[in-house]
């Protein structure tokens, strides 16, 4: 697999692997041994970039990633995240945002243990904390970098002014944002700012939480623990309305002798050379399909044709429920 650079010198595979769904978010956790095997299979196939966070589980996803990658540690880049306060009662709920410098340092120590490593390659602030100046957050990560516990600093779903302020204190290697053919808002302000500052973009949910693969219909029933049950964009009526975009991608995929997922990922890769999507999966055949997107060549004409057609389709439904929507773009 080809590699790409995030920031000045963080080299990763052109497609990474988002590990959240193995433990959390999309129904019951998958079998641990099977997921360890899947993560190692990804390394065998050239994937070097793995994404997790303390809140996924909580904690169990970092433990999974740590165990899977411990024997291969020198071949891979591990990204994890801080920024939430754990449940004071020790449960699985989080008690809001928390990015005070002393908390960031505590999270780093705990994540290092769970990940079975002595350094975190990329440490993202998961969501911007309005109660802590971003300069203090960047300064705390800068201290961790000086101590050799972290290599690179990242932000997730931050607004442009926050990105600029953080970058002035400690260079930001990557911003992780939702970005796909059905969520293109980053193109307005965020992507131009990243280009100017030399920061990479790591799109999460590059397949629209599975919707752009064409495997989800208005009749699909999600497990009761599946996050998509509370996402406005995934109500049955919105799924029905949004099917037009999936149909468009599917037709395009047939022309290119590829799958819908591969076209959605290839479109992202074609946007900028410093964009690295991190599709998640729990299935080996889907992992191979996603990796195959790196070999799909889209010409400028293909991209223009796809974007022109897509721009005529109004996507229905917000990407987050209201309380989570408040946490993005700060």
Looking only at the bridges linking them, the beta strands covering 172-178 and 94-97 are unpaired
Residue spans of the domains in the chain: they are: 3-208+272-295
Distances from the Cα of 20 to the Cα of 51, 59, 240, angstroms: 8, 11, 27
Q: How many residues does the chain have?
A: 330
Alpha-carbon span 151 to 131, nearest angstrom: 25
The three-state (H, E, C) secondary structure of the chain, written as one string: CCEEEECCCEEEECCCEECHHHCCCECCCCCHHHHHHHHHHHHHCCCCEEECCCCCCCCHHHHHHHHHHHHHHHHCEEEEEECEEECCCCCCCEEEECCCHHHHHHHHHHHHHHCCCCCEEEEEECCCCCCCCHHHHHHHHHHHHHCCCEEEEEEECCCHHHHHHHHHHCCEEEEEEECECCECHHHCCHHHHHHHHCCEEEEECCCCCCHHHCCCCCCCCCCCCEHHHHCHHHCHHHHHHHHHHHHHHHHHHHHHCCCHHHHHHHHHHHHCCCECCCCECCCHHHHHHHHHHHHCCCCHHHHHHHHHHHHCCCCCCCCCCHHHHCCCCC
State the pLDDT at residue 91.
Answer: 67
State the pLDDT at residue 92.
Answer: 67
What is the chain's pLDDT, residue by residue, as a tens digit (330 residues)? 999 999 999 999 999 999 999 999 999 999 999 999 999 999 999 999 999 999 999 999 999 999 999 999 999 999 999 999 877 777 667 779 999 999 999 999 999 999 999 999 999 999 999 999 999 999 999 999 999 999 999 999 999 999 999 999 999 999 999 999 999 999 999 999 999 999 999 999 999 999 999 999 999 999 999 999 999 999 999 999 999 999 999 999 999 999 999 999 999 999 999 999 999 999 999 999 999 999 999 999 999 999 999 999 999 999 999 999 999 999
State the pLDDT at residue 32.
Answer: 98
Distances from the Cα of 9 to the Cα of 75, 173, 198, 217, angstroms: 16, 8, 10, 41
Contact between residue 39 and residue 17 where contact means Cβ atoms under 8 Å apart? yes
Closest CA to 83 of 147, 25, 129: 129
Closest CA to 54 of 17, 10, 104, 102: 104
The highest-level CATH class for domain 3-208+272-295 is: alpha beta
Alpha-carbon span 229 to 187, nearest angstrom: 27
State the pLDDT at residue 88.
Answer: 75
State the pLDDT at residue 86.
Answer: 77
Contact between residue 289 and residue 27 where contact means Cβ atoms under 8 Å apart? no
pTM: 0.98
Looking only at the bridges linking them, the beta strands covering 84-86 and 94-97 are antiparallel
Closest CA to 274 of 2, 14, 79: 14
The dihedral sign for the CA sequence 62, 140, 200, 72:
negative
The dihedral sign for the CA sequence 81, 83, 88, 92:
negative
State the pLDDT at residue 155.
Answer: 99
What's the N-to-C CA distance of the chain in angstroms? 35
Closest CA to 298 of 247, 243, 258: 258
Residue numbers annotated as active site: 56
Q: Which residues pair with 5 in a beta bridge?
A: 11
């Amino acid at each position: 697999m080809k590699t790409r650079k995030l920031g000045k010198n963080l080299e990763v595979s052109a497609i990474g692997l988002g590990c959240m769904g193995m433990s959390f978010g999309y129904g019951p956790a998958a079998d641990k041994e099977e997921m360890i095997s899947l993560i190692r299979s990804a390394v065998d196939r050239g994937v070097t970039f793995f994404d997790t966070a303390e809140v996924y589980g909580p904690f169990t996803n970092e433990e999974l990633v740590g165990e899977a990658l411990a024997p291969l540690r020198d071949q891979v880049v591990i990204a994890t995240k801080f920024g939430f306060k754990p449940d004071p009662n020790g449960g699985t709920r989080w008690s809001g945002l928390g990015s005070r410098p002393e908390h960031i340092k505590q999270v780093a120590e705990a994540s290092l243990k769970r990940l079975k490593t002595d350094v975190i390659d990329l440490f993202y602030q998961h969501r911007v904390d309005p109660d802590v100046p971003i300069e203090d957050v960047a300064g705390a990560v800068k201290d961790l970098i000086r101590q050799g516990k972290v290599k690179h600093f990242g932000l997730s779903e931050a607004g442009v002014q926050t990105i600029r302020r953080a970058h002035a204190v400690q260079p930001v290697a990557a911003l992780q944002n939702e970005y796909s053919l059905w969520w293109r808002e980053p193109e307005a302000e965020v992507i131009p700012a990243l280009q100017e500052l030399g920061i990479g973009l790591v799109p999460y949910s590059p397949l629209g939480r599975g919707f752009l693969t064409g495997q989800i219909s208005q009749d699909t029933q999600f497990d009761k623990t599946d996050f998509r049950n509370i996402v406005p964009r995934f109500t049955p009526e919105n799924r029905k309305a949004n099917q037009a975009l999936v149909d468009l991608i599917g037709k395009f995929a047939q022309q290119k002798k590829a799958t819908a997922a591969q076209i959605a990922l290839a479109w992202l890769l074609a946007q900028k050379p410093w964009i690295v999507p991190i599709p998640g999966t729990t299935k080996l055949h889907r992992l191979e399909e996603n990796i195959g997107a790196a070999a799909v060549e889209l010409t400028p004409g293909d991209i223009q044709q796809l974007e022109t057609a897509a721009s005529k389709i109004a996507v229905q439904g917000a990407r987050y429920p209201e309380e989570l929507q408040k946490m993005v773009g700060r």
